[in-house]
Amino acid sequence: MSNVFAGILGHQAQKEQLLALKAGNAVPHALLFSGPSGIGKRTLAQAFSAALLTRDGDIQAQAKLLQRGNHPDFHPVYRDPEKKDLSVDRIRNVCTKLQLKPYSSAASVALIDNAEEMTIAASNALLMTLEEPPAHGFIILISKSPHRLPDTIISRCQAMHFASLPANDLEAVLKKILPSSPEIHKELLKFTEGSLAALGLEKCINPVTRLPHDEAQLLEQCKFFLKESARLSRMIERAFAGSGGESGITSVASDLAAEKESLPLVWQLIRQQARSALRNSATKMPQLNVSAQAELILDAIDSAERSSERSLNPQLQISSILLKAGEALRA
Q: Does one domain contain both 126 and 140? A: yes
pTM (2 decimals)? 0.79
How confident is the model over 119-143, as pLDDT tens digits?
A: 999 999 999 999 999 999 999 999 9
Is residue 137 domain-shared with residue 62, that is, in the same domain?
A: yes
Identify the pLDDT of residue 263: 79
Boundary of a domain, candidates 114, 134, 161: 161
Number of domains in the chain: 2
pLDDT of residue 37: 85
Give the H/E segment covering residue 77.
strand 74-77
Residue 25, domain member (yes or no): yes
User: Measuring CA to CA, which residue among 166, 165, 192, 131 is closest to residue 43?
Assistant: 165
Tens of pLDDT, residues 72-112: 999 999 877 677 789 999 999 999 999 999 998 889 999 99
- Give the residue from 105, 137, 161 where a domain finishes: 161
Question: CB of 212 within 8 A of CB of 206?
Answer: yes
Residue 272 dihedral angles phi and psi, to the nearest 5°: -65, -40
Does residue 155 sit in the same domain as residue 196?
Answer: no
The last residue of one of the domains, among 127, 145, 161, is: 161
CATH of the domain at 57: 3.40.50.300
> How many angstroms separate the CA atoms of 70 and 68, rounded?
6
Does 7 map to a domain?
A: no
- Which regions of the chain are under pLDDT 50? 287-288, 290
For residue 103, the enclosing domain spans 12-161
Q: Are residues 176 and 123 in the same domain?
A: no
Same domain, 191 and 50: no
Evaluate whether residue 85 is within a structural domain.
Answer: yes
